[in-house]
Amino acid sequence: MKRPVTLFTGQWADLPLETLAEKVGQWGFDGLELACWGDHFDVHRALTEPAYIQSRRDILNRHNLACYAISNHLVGQAVCDLIDTRHQEILPTHIWGDSDPEGVRQRAANEMMDTARSAAAFGVEQVNGFTGSSIWHLLYSFPPNNFADIERGYEDFARRWNPIIDVFEREGVRFGLEVHPTEIAYDFVTTRKALDAIDNRPGFGMNLDPSHFIHQFLDPASFIEEFSARIYHVHIKDSKRRLDGRRSILGSHLNFGEALRGWDFVSPGHGDVDFESLFRALNRIGYKGPLSIEWEDSGVDREWGAQDALAFIRRIDFTPSSAAFDAAFRTQ
């Protein structure tokens, strides 16, 4: 049994879904993870226009593509975040509204509930995304943090997301947080604390994306083993450290792709993610879901890259064994 390989459409939202699906189908992917932006998957039309969902299905079917998950990172980000002008750039107008931070956060929360409902309507049981965080800006504790404030950040997360997850669980859909800087959980410690804050309820798990672990020096395979019951979806994305004593691992306030950054996202297989160990860990926990390529590499043409990534995954995603070691040595 081979796991399906899908493409996450978030970085291709400038293309109409029809155009993208045609390319992706020809490249040989098994499916798409639809982003809830661009024209790829519109949460509201899915809930209100009877024909909309079928139109999406038709496009996918025409190109032999399945859909195992939809993703709404941008709206999810606004649920817990301290809102600033950057959110206006990535949020739909009806959520940004009058720009009042608390209003933005509440509208974003409602939209995430609708995202669960629209996924259910679409027949998809997985929604991936971000949570935002009210305490991210306290990352480096200077001026010295009052660490009770940090605890309040996890409580804020629980207060805002528990009602959202109520809807998810009611709809039979699971949320997969992409553990990532700027989210409530971005590493082992913060994932433990975030899960604790919501009593580790089953409606909330992870969309594992190993690329965000590399610049933190974290091991994705160990993460899979520790949080095995909450690995709900997997992104295939890579990252490379480029440290030479002059480039900071913190990124120097430089944009992705700048030569002087200490690390950058790269096409899968071109970076420091140990996919061999990652796939062995996924095999051990029995993960059977899609491997969804989230393609970002500012140094490579994306069409070349998406195909290169697919070929890479096809070559190394091995089938797990079913037999015991040395069983063939036994004489009986």
300 binds a copy of itself, rule: CB under 8 A: yes
On the 0-12 / 13-18 / 19+ scale of CB atoms within 10 A, 328 is: exposed
Min dist. Cβ of residue 236 to a copy of itself (A): 17
Out of 51, 102, 244, 286, the residue judged to bind a copy of itself by CB under 8 A: 244
Q: Which is nearer to a copy of itself, 168 or 186 (CB)?
A: 186
Interaction residues for a copy of itself, span 138-157 (CB under 8 A):
138-147, 149-150, 153
The DSSP line for 147-192 is HHHHHHHHHHHHHHHHHHHHHHHHHT-EEEE---TTSS--SHHHHH
Q: In the complex, what is the shortest distance from the CB of residue 42 to a copy of itself, in angstroms, rounded to a whole number?
A: 13
**Which tokens is 262 given?**
């200490």
Restricted to residues 169-208, the positions that interact with a copy of itself (CB under 8 A) are 180-182, 186-190
DSSP, collapsed to helix, strand or coil, labels residue 236 as strand
Residue 14 binds a copy of itself, judged by CB under 8 A: yes
Binding segment for a copy of itself (CB under 8 A), chosen from 42-50, 112-120, 198-206, 298-306, is 298-306
d(CA 212, CA 205) in angstroms, rounded, equals 16
| Listed residue (16, 18, 128, 20) closest to 72, CA to CA | 128
* 96: its two tokens: 């940004």
What are φ and ψ of residue 139, in 5° steps? Answer: -55, -55
Residues numbered 17 to 46 that lie near a copy of itself (CB under 8 A) are 37-38
Contact between 158 and a copy of itself per CB under 8 A: no
Residues contacting a copy of itself: total by CB under 8 A? 102
Among 97, 155, 255, 314, binds a copy of itself (CB under 8 A): 255
Instruction: Confirm or reject binding of residue 97 to a copy of itself (CB under 8 A).
Output: no
From the list 60-68, 110-118, 164-172, 254-262, the region that binds a copy of itself by CB under 8 A is: 254-262
- How many other CB atoms are found less than 10 A from the CB of residue 253? 8
Among 208, 270, 278, 290, the residue binding a copy of itself under the rule CB under 8 A is 270
Spacing of C-alpha 233 from chain mean position: 8
76 binds a copy of itself (CB under 8 A): no
For residue 154, give the nearest of 180, 116, 187, 192 by alpha carbon: 192
Shortest Cβ 144–a copy of itself spacing (Å) = 5
Residue list 122-141, contact with a copy of itself (CB under 8 A): 135-141
Structure tokens at 97: 């509204």
